[in-house]
């Protein structure tokens, strides 16, 4: 609509609209979302150049992709407008609230809505788990930038496809209470899906989001990533900390599995089956305090019954350098890893 263009022109590409409804803090490099429970400053405004003198501002919330969009998308969400059916009403309210004088008059029966502060907890957060009754993912081809992200860990597209990892364009959800929401991938916040149960369930991975993991579908008990990709027998198998670690191992020629976390209980029946198929089982957890503690406890639990050991990576244990995918990302090779296995296995 022409009025939308005029509003953008009068508000410096929507920047003043964001400031009006979100407060002056939104001009900081990163700021907290005042409309949801946000402990971190996870929001940022970006200027989108459209060519010539045309530009607009775009809000990216790294903690919750539901709060992403231009000023009209965000204000519609805050005020409860439907962009498809109420767009003109939305523009009228912005015009009236900010006294922009874009409209000479308003439609009969116009009543502006009030912003209601509310705390929204992103699905998958530590505070609360969402109950999903339906979900509909839309996948797409991996972009060059997405493949570049995986390649830093030595993971190629062939490995991703072999392990049923897909690039998610978007996914719509229906909760058990009937409420609907969606997550949408962007170049800044990509979404990947670890599919399980023949596609009946997905574990979403958002590496650049505050809430990195979400689940939809029935999560198997136990959840074991990579189990159905193991051979019937082999020299060794690694039990590692996460899906990306399994993928990185696979891309370098090793077999591995991961439970839902390093602190998850390892079922003895699964360990027994692994011992019958592989000559040795190696716990390869993170090189931080938790990973070292948990791997030592697992070996202590099972060492008298199975051929288990642990391998500690020569990494500093920080967020950027603690697991096997980081080990390969900083330049170590397959040969380096084999040498480490032979030298340091305990």
322: burial class by Cβ within 10 Å (0-12, 13-18, 19+)?
buried
75: burial class by Cβ within 10 Å (0-12, 13-18, 19+)?
buried
Which ranges of the chain have pLDDT less than 50?
116-129
Q: Cβ(68)–Cβ(57) under 8 Å?
A: no
Domain 227-344: which CATH number of 3.40.630.10, 3.20.20.60, 3.40.1360.10, 3.40.50.2020: 3.40.1360.10
Residue 31's pLDDT is what?
Answer: 81
| SS3 assignment for 319-338 | CCECCHHHHHHCCCCHHHHH
Residue 57's pLDDT is what?
Answer: 92
Report phi then psi at 116, rounded to 5.
-110, 115
Residue 23's pLDDT is what?
Answer: 76
The per-residue pLDDT of the chain, averaged, comes to 85
103: burial class by Cβ within 10 Å (0-12, 13-18, 19+)?
middle
Name the residue among 132, 229, 219 with its Cα closest to residue 182: 132
Domain ranges of the chain: 2-98, 132-216, 227-344
Residue 117's pLDDT is what?
Answer: 37
Dump pLDDT digits (tens) for 13-35: 999 999 888 877 788 888 877 66
pTM value surpassing 0.75? no
Residue 165's pLDDT is what?
Answer: 94
Residue 96's pLDDT is what?
Answer: 86
Residue 51's pLDDT is what?
Answer: 60
Rounded to an integer, what distance in angstroms lies between the CA atom of residue 17 and that of residue 114?
A: 15
């Amino acid at each position: 609509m022409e009025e939308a263009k005029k509003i953008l022109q009068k508000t410096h590409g929507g920047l003043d609209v964001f400031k009006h409804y979100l407060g002056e803090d939104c001009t900081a490099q990163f700021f907290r979302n005042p409309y949801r429970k946000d402990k971190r400053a996870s929001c940022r405004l970006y200027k989108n150049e459209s060519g010539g003198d045309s530009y607009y501002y775009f809000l990216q919330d790294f903690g919750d992709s539901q709060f992403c969009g231009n000023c009209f998308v965000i204000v519609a969400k805050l005020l409860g407008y439907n962009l498809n059916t109420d767009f003109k009403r939305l523009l009228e309210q912005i015009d009236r609230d900010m006294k922009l004088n874009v409209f000479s008059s308003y439609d009969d029966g116009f009543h502006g809505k009030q912003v209601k502060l509310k705390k929204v907890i992103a699905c998958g957060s530590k505070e609360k788990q969402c109950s999903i009754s339906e979900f509909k993912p839309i996948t797409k081809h991996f972009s060059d930038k997405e493949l570049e992200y995986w390649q830093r860990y030595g993971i190629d597209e062939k490995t991703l496809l072999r392990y049923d990892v897909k690039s998610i364009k978007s996914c719509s959800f229906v909760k058990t209470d009937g409420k609907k929401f969606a997550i949408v991938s962007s170049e800044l916040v990509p979404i990947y899906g670890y599919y399980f149960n023949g596609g009946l369930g997905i574990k979403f991975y958002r590496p650049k989001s505050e809430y990195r993991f979400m689940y939809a579908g029935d999560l198997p008990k136990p959840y074991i990533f990579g189990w159905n990709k193991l051979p019937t027998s082999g020299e060794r198998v690694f039990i590692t900390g996460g899906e990306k670690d399994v993928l990185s191992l696979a891309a370098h020629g090793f077999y591995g599995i991961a439970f839902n976390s390093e602190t998850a209980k390892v079922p003895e029946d699964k360990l027994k089956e692994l011992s019958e198929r592989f000559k040795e089982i190696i716990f390869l957890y993170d090189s931080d305090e938790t990973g070292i503690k948990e791997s030592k406890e697992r070996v202590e639990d099972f060492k008298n019954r199975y051929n288990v050991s642990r391998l500690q990576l020569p990494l500093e244990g920080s967020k950027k350098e603690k697991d096997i995918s980081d080990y390969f990302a900083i330049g170590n090779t397959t040969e380096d890893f084999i040498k480490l296995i032979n030298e340091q296995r305990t």
